[in-house]
Amino acid sequence: MAILDWTWLCLVWTLLVLAAGVVLYFWGTSTYGRFTKQNIPHLKPLPFIGNMAQYMGKKSLLELLLESYNQFKGRQFGIIFMFRMPVVYVRDLELIKTITVKDFEYFTDHRTDYIESRESIWSKPLIILKGQRWRDMRSTLSPAFTSSKMKTMFVLVNECSEQLLDFLEQSYQQPIETSYKIKKDGDLLVLELKEFYTRYTNDVIATTAFGLKVDSLKHPTNEFYMMGQDATSFGAIKWLIFLSIPKVMKFLGLSLVPGKITQFFKTLVLDTVATREREGIIRPDLLHLLIQAKKGTLHEEDSAEDQKGAKIKLDDEDIIAQSLQFFLAGFDTSSTLMSFVSYLLAIHPDVQTRLQEEIDKTLKKHDGKFTYEMVHSMKYLDMVVSETLRLYPPGAAVERVCVKNYTLKSDPPLELRPGDNIMIPVYGLQHDPNYFPDPERFDPERFSDDNKHNINPMTYIPFGLGPRSCIGNRFALMETKSLLAHLLSRFSVKVVSKTPIPIKVIQKGFNVTAEGGFWLGLEKRTT
């Protein structure tokens, strides 16, 4: 009898396991049938993981997205599966224009569920807001990012540029013992430039967004910098988990950005705002502009967006949220852009020489002073930065979420529902030989006055497209150009033995970067 009972128990457990397996299988594939059972171009998915098997192995997300772009060659769009989530991967330029501009009202939102948390502050950054709330907040904040406001903040950015260059000058003359990846080798100062650029962008954000005077080179473990490192250096595994099961992570009370970082900035902003209001302190920084927006006194006559759309009153959490977003968005992306520019100049010395000649000539014209007008008057500098952004855009793709039923006028037509995810392949478009001949070649002349009109605006989108393009792109370009103008006026960037040629581009967290870092040499200019 005991043997029969045991046999029966084993049979029951086996049947339960099989039933659970069947249920899990159908759950793991339940989102696929809508696209795989129709005549819709798609990549064949695996249960649960969709098309992410290679990403879970050796390939980066960037490589996966680029391969998908090439696999849908000749198609207007295709479906890829990021785990259980179907994504409409759009290649056709007219469809991209329709989604991001013409019929934007159907695709107003970003997919942000992997960023959200139980912290109420994380429901308020501009990038996360949806619908009318986003429109109102964008209209409220836009005056803070106009060219006249950037000109005001340039003074603070310029101070940070000079601070970094003074440190490099001192290190070149007499290297000191530091924890940095830097050493003197003959006439070259050999260093991993990304670390120094990140410390520069950290100091820029500290002063322009939070009103703090920070020197991350003299004080390498300052709390502001360490918080930035913790917030942006999450690994591929953590990113993978939040990307695949965002609702589970939110239910468990876990956040992509650690809670201690949110609390740090919450305390910092509230204390700073209270001090300024109590003592009547005014600084030409983002925090002051947000305080003005809170009071309803922020105006900008040269902002078209300031003249239309509803305005909303900001509360303290709104100010904290926008400051935190500004910090996270700018900490790593701009430093990565500077690193790629430096790398490209090192391996293209002819381009670097021409750029230095422009910088020298422009400085002489402005009596040796770095001003907002001086930096933005240099056309070749703009060409170099623009071509770098084409080769190495900050993000590999732009996402949109469908918010109303919509029929994509494509072949075949595609019925979209609220919640459907759209992806626009920025990296693929900007490396497509049909749009940019010899796309892997670094050629700033693509963006000269004679040539740039030949570029279809739908194929060059490093800062996104349409009303939801990056609101801080002017600021990012300003701090990048300021630093490069300072650096190249005093140093030349050189290839060293540790410089990877060719460089391997990878997706790390939110951003594109280089595997192994940016090892380069700086040589003091004699002129």
Peptide bond into 412 cis (omega under 30): yes
How many Å apart are CA 109 and CA 69, to the nearest integer? Answer: 23
Instruction: Read off φ and ψ for residue 320, nearest 5 degrees.
Output: -60, -45
Interacting residues of 352 by C-beta distance below 8 A, sequence separation 6+? 345, 346, 488, 492, 493
Determine contact, residues 455/387, Cβ cutoff 8 Å: no
Determine contact, residues 444/387, Cβ cutoff 8 Å: yes
Determine contact, residues 189/182, Cβ cutoff 8 Å: yes
If you write DSSP's letter for every residue of 463-505 in order, what string do you get?
Answer: T--GGGS-TTHHHHHHHHHHHHHHHHHHEEEE--TT--SSPPE
How many Å apart are CA 359 and CA 364, to the nearest integer? Answer: 9
How many Å apart are CA 293 and CA 299, to the nearest integer? Answer: 8
Q: At what angle do helices 193-209 and 473-490 cross, to 10 degrees?
A: 130
Strands 85-90 and 421-424, sheet pairing = parallel
If you write DSSP's letter for every residue of 111-126 in order, what string do you get?
Answer: --TTT--SSGGGG-ST
How many Å apart are CA 401 and CA 86, to the nearest integer? Answer: 12
Q: Hey, what amino acid is at 185? A: D
Nearest Cα residue to 242 out of 252, 59, 336 = 252
The answer to whether the annotation marks 10 as part of a ligand binding site is no
Interacting residues of 276 by C-beta distance below 8 A, sequence separation 6+? 211, 282, 283, 287, 288, 291
How many C-beta atoms surround the C-beta of residue 73 within 10 A? 11
Instruction: Read off φ and ψ for residue 21, nearest 5 degrees.
Output: -65, -40
Nearest Cα residue to 414 out of 65, 77, 33, 86 = 77
How many Å apart are CA 165 and CA 483, to the nearest integer? Answer: 9
Q: At what angle do helices 286-295 and 193-209 cross, to 10 degrees?
A: 30
How buried is 187 (Cβ within 10 angstroms: 0-12 exposed, 13-18 middle, 19+ buried)?
A: exposed
Determine contact, residues 90/421, Cβ cutoff 8 Å: no
Task: Please tell me the total number of residues recorded for the chain in this structure.
Answer: 527
Determine contact, residues 169/217, Cβ cutoff 8 Å: no
Binding residues: 470
Binding residues for heme: 470
